Amino acid sequence: MWTTTDLIPWALALPAAFWELRNVGRRHGWILGACAGSIVFGGILIWVYVVQQSIHDLNYGALAFVQALGLLLGPLAAAVIISRRATLAAGVFAGGVVGFCVYVFTATIGIGIYGE
């Protein structure tokens, strides 16, 4: 069953993906624009979904809060820094890498502390 909160990642990802499709499409052609738009759409969709799932696991206390905050701000900061010098797709890709590193780091600490 779909709820309204399931539409939040789609609503956040579509405008940025269309913007990147238009921007890159004008400069480098529509095929590269479509690839860049797909990277942006998939990256934002996965980022918002992972942040939503980490917020649902806040019953683990302070570590879960640090993980949710790191997953919220880390990829966003990386995307903003890289997007200034390159395209939005490159920023989203860098944000995905940072988000994965934050997730693995905090999950490893959580496994060490809680054993799950």
pLDDT in tens, 27-70: 888 888 888 888 888 888 888 887 777 777 666 677 777 777 88
Q: What are phi and psi of 115, to 5 degrees?
A: 75, 15
SS3 55: helix
**Distance of alpha carbon 19 from alpha carbon 84, whole angstroms:** 15
Query: Token pair 């390159």 is at which residue?
Result: 86
| pTM (global) more than 0.85 | no
Q: How many domains does the chain have?
A: 1
Handedness of CA 105, 109, 110, 111 (dihedral sign): positive
Please give the residue range of the domain that contains residue 49: 4-114
